[in-house]
């Protein structure tokens, strides 16, 4: 029986992968993400210069064969800094969404499974959190704490879990009334077993989609905060910090704004395209 179950899971997974591969936009998004990931992973090998190498005599040089997308006001190679900045963006995106998933799935599972007054208290807290503009909440917290990469990851994660909690709660409310869950309950399965083994694995489909979109949102949040000087601090390389410098030299050094802006746009677009593909894949109304 376990072997047949494993075969069914593999067959279902391969079918889902085949469906996803037929979505050209989703595949395009996946390739963009893979490219950025590879660039970030092999940054020490790919970057032509150290990201913090200062060469004053080469400051604000336009794109050339020596510096493919120019230099900044300190003569640092912009391409090298952008390559290293990809690490920052992905690191913030994945860690922040990991924190959001941990909190959101836990809160949503507890609220949806136990219902009653527990559900009421948790969901009212979620509603209160949703009434606060996320970016302004992040700005307020950053104003109190010291701006740093670690603080950005934690704060973005702590302010991005509410939507995930509502998705998981809705899934739990529907799944816990299904026959196989009721049968497991009648056989004496504990609450923890019902949640972890029977309900949660079948409630995560919309969470995957939300997580992909959440990474894109976290990258945008980090870039925006770094642009305002409240995120990653110089001399650490970040797409947002390069953009922040570019706003002061836009008339004479357009490349400091154009190329980091394009990197942010293309990366976020990749995650959004993949997220749209996953949403179509897991949408039972469309598959039906």
Count helices and strands in the chain by DSSP H and E runs: 15, 0
- HSE on the CB side for 73, CA within 13 Å? 14
Instruction: Give the residue from 199, 194, 195, 201 showing the smallest Cα distance to 175.
Output: 199
The C-alpha angle 204, 209, 214, rounded to 5 degrees, equals 115
Per-residue pLDDT, averaged over 12-26, amounts to 76
Give per-residue pLDDT as tens, 121-137: 999 999 998 888 877 87
Question: Beta-carbon neighbour count of residue 183 at 10 Å?
Answer: 11
Coil vs helix vs strand at 71: strand
The C-alpha angle 226, 257, 228, rounded to 5 degrees, equals 20
Q: How confident is the model at residue 150 (pLDDT cuts 50, 70, 90)?
A: confident
Q: By the 8 A CB rule, do 117 and 178 touch?
A: no
What pLDDT score was predicted for residue 202?
86
Q: Cα–Cα distance between 51 and 43 in angstroms, integer?
A: 10
Per-residue pLDDT, averaged over 9-26, amounts to 73
Residue 155 clears pLDDT 60, i.e. is over it? yes
- HSE on the CB side for 150, CA within 13 Å? 2
User: For the chain, what are the domain ranges?
Assistant: 53-264
Instruction: Give the residue from 234, 100, 91, 108 showing the smallest Cα distance to 155.
Output: 100
pTM of the model: 0.85
What pLDDT score was predicted for residue 2?
38
Per-residue pLDDT, averaged over 89-95, amounts to 91
Q: How confident is the model at residue 285 (pLDDT cuts 50, 70, 90)?
A: very low
Question: Beta-carbon neighbour count of residue 32 at 10 Å?
Answer: 19
Residue 287 clears pLDDT 80, i.e. is over it? no
What pLDDT score was predicted for residue 164?
93
Q: How confident is the model at residue 8 (pLDDT cuts 50, 70, 90)?
A: very low
Residues of the chain with pLDDT > 90: what percent?
A: 41
Determine the CATH number of domain 53-264. 1.10.3720.10
Q: How confident is the model at residue 262 (pLDDT cuts 50, 70, 90)?
A: very high
């Amino acid at each position: 029986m376990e072997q047949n179950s494993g075969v069914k899971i593999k067959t279902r997974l391969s079918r889902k992968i085949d469906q996803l591969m037929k979505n050209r936009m989703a595949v395009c998004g996946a390739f963009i993400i893979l490219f950025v990931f590879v660039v970030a992973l092999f940054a020490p090998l790919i970057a032509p210069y150290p990201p913090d190498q200062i060469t004053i005599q080469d400051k604000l040089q336009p794109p050339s064969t020596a510096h493919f997308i120019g230099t900044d006001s300190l003569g640092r190679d912009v391409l090298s800094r952008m390559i290293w900045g990809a690490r920052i963006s992905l690191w913030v995106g994945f860690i922040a969404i990991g924190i959001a998933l941990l909190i959101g799935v836990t809160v949503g599972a507890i609220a949806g499974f136990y219902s009653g007054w527990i559900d009421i208290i948790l969901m009212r807290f979620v509603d209160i959190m949703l009434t606060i503009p996320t970016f302004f909440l992040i700005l307020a917290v950053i104003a109190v704490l010291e701006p740093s990469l670690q603080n950005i990851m934690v704060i973005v994660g702590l302010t991005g879990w509410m939507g995930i909690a509502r998705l998981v709660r809705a899934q739990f409310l529907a799944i816990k009334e299904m026959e196989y869950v009721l049968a497991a309950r009648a056989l004496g399965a504990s609450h923890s077993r019902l949640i972890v083994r029977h309900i949660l694995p079948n409630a995560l489909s919309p969470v995957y989609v939300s997580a992909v979109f959440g990474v894109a949102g976290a990258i945008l949040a980090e870039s925006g905060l770094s642009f305002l000087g409240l995120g990653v601090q110089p001399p650490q390389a970040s797409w947002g910090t390069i953009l922040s410098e570019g706003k002061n030299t836009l008339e004479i050094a357009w490349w400091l704004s154009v190329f980091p802006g394009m990197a942010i746009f293309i990366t976020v677009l990749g995650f959004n395209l993949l997220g749209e593909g996953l949403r179509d894949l897991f949408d039972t109304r469309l598959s039906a």
